[in-house]
Structure 1
């Protein structure tokens, strides 16, 4: 009563107490029901204790004999006391029951007539009852409606995750510091003159190094100038710059000679000096290789800047731009574009991971929370079975999964314009199945684990396991060959590849890389469901509080 409950269930609250105290308790209970809208339920074997109640239910041997107000009971039985009325009602019930007996007149008959008794209370052998299922669904919906912040958090959590992923991950870094030493203009690269760019660098003194540096600035690199090679290398070691680029003296002249005729170059003594010329006409770079992605990006940007400059210079010399290219030509990609982004590769994996783990977390946390609070134990004791509990949870979860999948696909493919060239229906269906698989995994977690702590450890452990083995963070082709055979059968490996084939490649359901993903996640749904059923049969006290 200190917690101001809406429902009070009391067992013999005034039996054996002083009459004055008993009267004060009843006055309090009547005031709670009349003025504060409370409901009070009293169980007692002392009938007179309940004479001030609004409604009385009389039970004998598990059967409800009568239910009426005290006045109606006394009037119908023509009695002055409830004890006397209860006695008459019991006698009438026994007489009515015995009237169904049929006397046996022929002792030679080998059968007898059973009494027509009412069925025992709560006797229900049905595997599924819609009434109990509906009650469980209503209970779940009421809990969500009473906790609006939590409900909104569950709905918008994948939306927040995908937005943060698209904003924070997968984009090329900008404004990186890059050290330079241009010996063509030592200590003063600002003297680089762009007025000479109209001339042919094969015939005139055009500073190719300045053109390369200008192109790097256009790519948002922040250039830091050094006067000697040792200072530049030391800056890389001290993490002041990501890399250091060195242009030798007469770099442009040696580069022009290299393209003019590199095979007939010799000094005045006839000694071949082509190796020296090649070295002085080469860009030397030292890059921090501890971050592979940064190393590959800087290397690619420097290479592209150089090739762009050389192509433009050959064009000004009225020569084919192909003369400066390496003898490899990358044509239009079969899938994707020429400048792919890591986010395009990772987006299907992030969607699949959110679709799997968010339903798993919510389902497991909800069931374990109710188990710790004793809610599930009470509903099971009242006659509800696991199928009804599971189906009620599935119905609520499917609503969440559909809403979450819709929001995630809108954000990922419409708002942030990630590649989507396939049909939307197979992709939506696959994500719904992945969410259903996560929900079944949540059921399994709730059955196996007794506390939220155990479930948290299991969820975090499997999360990292799937990230590493399912090709979410790195292609499965790079996994050790011993684990590669195991990775194929993990829950999200084939389904993620199937989603990538649907969204980025536009393949149909008839393609193996697509339909195998559906087969894989559907198989895991069956595995988790079967494992949950087996654990229910083998494990004792599944629904009791630890």
Structure 2
């Protein structure tokens, strides 16, 4: 019994194999009951409505219809750029995108409706780019370039595409689809905007390709009469194929002088029908309601029915829809990645001015940041009201070094830093008014008996009264609207008093430190007593500059290519989305290495920012953060439809990261819930790690250092994975 079943299965397999071979030899494209919709819920729009289509191998098939009838969508499904919601689809005997189908890939030559060429490439460079994708040898590409130049009357191959006329550019686009000698040519409105003479030449060449070389050609157009040279014509309307037959049969059976009249009659006949009930194509005399291939005159009916049976049996074995989306990463190709990398470099170096600007911009940002941030303010005007001088008219400050309790206010003022400009006022009210008008940053007031009361305070002991204490105080009113300036002035005033006391007591033969607070700051554990704010900011500045430049330069990475149809054309040629992303990562990373080196040269050598640890560890963390920025930029590019949206999104992310990542201000100053959010940001751990290397001299064995490395790697892989998922959802992958 088992042997009988096995024999039956083998027999069935042989029958299926023979049927598949027969259909593969006859038909290049088979479409059955194709339905394609966009949108969800009430916004669902059906583009293809139960469409049937049969294209014989070695023929030219003219797909006619008005703009918006679904021609381009159907072609996208044929080349594997879209998938049907339901229905069956075979191209060259395989489901597009299946293993060994060659579609997307070298078996198809695709000319989209858009120009889809790199304007900054020469004709030869354009062919070499696609030749690199197809892994063609240079000798073959050169010979094809010479052959196609003569055949299509192309300009010299060293001409840039952007310098060509519209007709010349269309011919170059046609050459790109043709030059690798594919089995299937799919041309989406190749004659749009082309003069009639060139249009006639293109159609003649397509016929020669089919008859002399056995290539299958599908051409879409809404110029109906130009398709008379096609072997078969399919007329589309509202996502359905109304008829499918030879031009001669259509003209005879509909008794019309032109194909436009035929199409007009079909549209009148189609009006009022239910699109889902009348969605199958018929032959010209409408005698066969089954979605059948073209019926050539003289073909026996039994042979036709057998072909239909074979088609239906094979197609049902190759369903092309209803599959759940697969997020597996396809196998990468070194030669395709190499072609993409070379393309990116060529495009970059064609605009050398912009390249140099973006290359040196991070170094310029680092320079400006060090020049403007973290330094002590200078030229700060302070109002000085010294009643010791005002009460004694004509008296001047006595700068004696003796141990004399006289004019101690002047002696104190001598110790103020030169950063403070002392402006004398006669009374406190005038000085305060100057502060309210913004003319000074504060008021320093000495009482008329400051020196006398200071002496009483210094020697009074337990007999000291409250009036002696208040009289010996220096009254200070500050403009605290600027906290940083206020902190600097307060620090300088206190330091001046410390120096004044030590100087005076030393001259009096006393212990200088006896008059100071019983608190002393010894040598710091890390850093120096006079560590500038610039040193604190330096790691954050380095990381943020490299990161944000990476985001800005990759945020619009392939948006322009996608809008111009270049991305679609490359992916129909077989390029995968991970290969495109990897090529951009490699290109931008190599440039980023040089930019990072310049930033470190400016920071460490020009401005002498101390790095007490291993510089190589800090550079490693910085480069990883650059990769995080590149990955985030690619995610923005994948999710946005235009350059303006990508630019706005990249810039919108800058300020929150600047505020919350600890670049300019310690994270410890934030609320506890904000600290948790801060450490979830991509820059935070990296900044803390580089700061530990710079200021503490820690190595990679410390948690606070290698945490930045691990966090950066995690962000890189997470963002790139999100890129692939978003691209898959938005149908950028094949």
TM tier, shorter chain? 0.7 to 0.9
Q: Which residue of 2 aligns with 1:454?
A: 645
Name the CA shift for 1:36/1:426 in 2 (closer, same or farther; >3 Å): closer
Where do 1:225-240 residues align within 5 Å?
A: 225-240=424-439
SS of 2:557's partner is helix
Q: How far does the alpha carbon of each residue in 1:421-467 deviate from its partner, in whole angstroms, 9 at most, with x for none? A: 10111111111100011111111111111112221222122211111
CA, structure 1 residues 36+431, in 2 after alignment: closer, same or farther (shift >3 Å)?
Answer: closer
Deviations for 1:372-401, whole angstroms, at most 9, x for unmatched residues? 333222211221111221121122111112
Does 2:722 align with 1:531? yes
Once the two structures are superposed, the pairs formed by residues 100-115 of structure 1 within 5 Å of their partners are: none
Deviation at 1:339, TM superposition (A): 1.5
| Aligned partner (choices 122, 143, 151) of residue 355 of structure 2 | 151
Distance in structure 2 (CA, Å) of the matches to 1:439 and 1:148: 21
C-alpha distance in structure 1 between counterparts of 2:620 and 2:335, whole Å: 30
Q: How does 1:298-377 map to 2 (within 5 A)?
A: 298-377=489-568
Which one of the candidate residues 163, 166, 180 is aligned to 2:367? 163
Q: 1:184 aligns with which of 388, 398, 404?
A: 388
Deviation of 1:480 (Å): 1.6
| 8 Å CA contact 2:557, 2:584 repeated in 1 | no
- Counterpart selection for 1:250 from 449, 465, 484: 449
CA distance in 2, matches of 1:466, 1:220: 34
Q: Please name the residue that 2:673 is paired with.
A: 482
Report deviation, 1:34.
11
Equivalent-residue separation in structure 2 for 1:60 and 1:383 (angstroms): 13
1:222 is matched with which residue? 421
1:415 aligns with 606
Contact 1:349 1:496 (C-alpha < 8 Å) held by counterparts: yes
Matched, 1:434 2:625: yes
**Partner Cα distance (1:227, 1:375) in 2:** 77
Q: 1:425 to 1:445 in 2, by over 3 A?
A: same
User: Is the contact between residue 158 and residue 354 of structure 1 (CA under 8 Å) also seen in structure 2?
Assistant: yes
More strand by share: 2
8 A contact 1:247–1:282 mirrored in 2: yes
Q: For residues 446 and 702 of structure 2, what CA distance do their matches in structure 1 show?
A: 52
Cα-to-partner distance string for 1:12-47 (whole Å, 9 max, x where unaligned): xxxxxxxxxxxxxx99x8695599899969879xxx
Matched, 1:172 2:376: yes
Residue 716 of structure 2 is aligned to residue 511 of structure 1: no
Using CA pairs under 8 Å that are at least 6 residues apart, name the structure with larger relative contact order, 1 or 2: 2
Partner of 1:129: 333
The gaps in structure 1 that reach 5 residues or longer are 10-25, 45-52, 64-80, 92-124, 266-273
Cα drift, residue 498 of structure 1? 0.5
Segments of structure 2 that go 5 or more residues without pairing to the other structure are: 1-118, 127-148, 186-203, 215-328
Distance 1:61-1:372 versus aligned 2 partners, 3 A rule: closer
Q: Which residue in the other structure is 2:481 paired with?
A: 290
Structure 1 equivalent of residue 281 of structure 2: none
The answer as to whether partners of 1:246 and 1:284 remain within 8 angstroms in 2 is yes
SS in 2 for 1:177: strand
Relative to structure 1, the CA distance from residue 30 to residue 536 in structure 2 (aligned partners, 3 Å threshold; closer, same or farther) is closer
Structure number with the higher helix fraction is 1
Deviation at 1:173, TM superposition (A): 0.5
Q: CA deviation at 1:83?
A: 12
Residue aligned with 1:465, SS: helix
Does 2:408 match 1:208?
yes
The 3-state SS of whatever aligns with 2:462 is coil
CA offsets per residue over residues 124-168 of structure 1, 9 Å max, x none?
x97222222121111111111110111111111110000000011
User: Which residue is 1:380 aligned to?
Assistant: 571
CA RMSD of aligned residues (A): 3.6
Measure how far apart 1:534 and its partner are: 1.4
Query: Aligned residue for 1:241?
Result: 440
Taking a change above 3 Å as real, the CA distance of residues 36 and 242 of structure 1, as seen in their structure-2 partners, is closer
CA distance in 1 between counterparts of 2:182 and 2:616 reads 59
Is contact 2:555–2:650 with CA below 8 Å preserved after alignment?
A: no
Helix, strand or coil: the match of 1:209? helix
Task: State the SS of the aligned residue for 1:419.
Answer: coil
- The match for 2:461 is 262
Give distance in 2, aligned partners of 1:340 and 1:173.
15
Tell whether the 8 Å contact from 1:244 to 1:286 is kept in structure 2 after alignment.
Answer: yes
In the alignment, the residues of structure 1 paired with residue 352 and residue 447 of structure 2 have an alpha-carbon distance, to the nearest angstrom, of 67
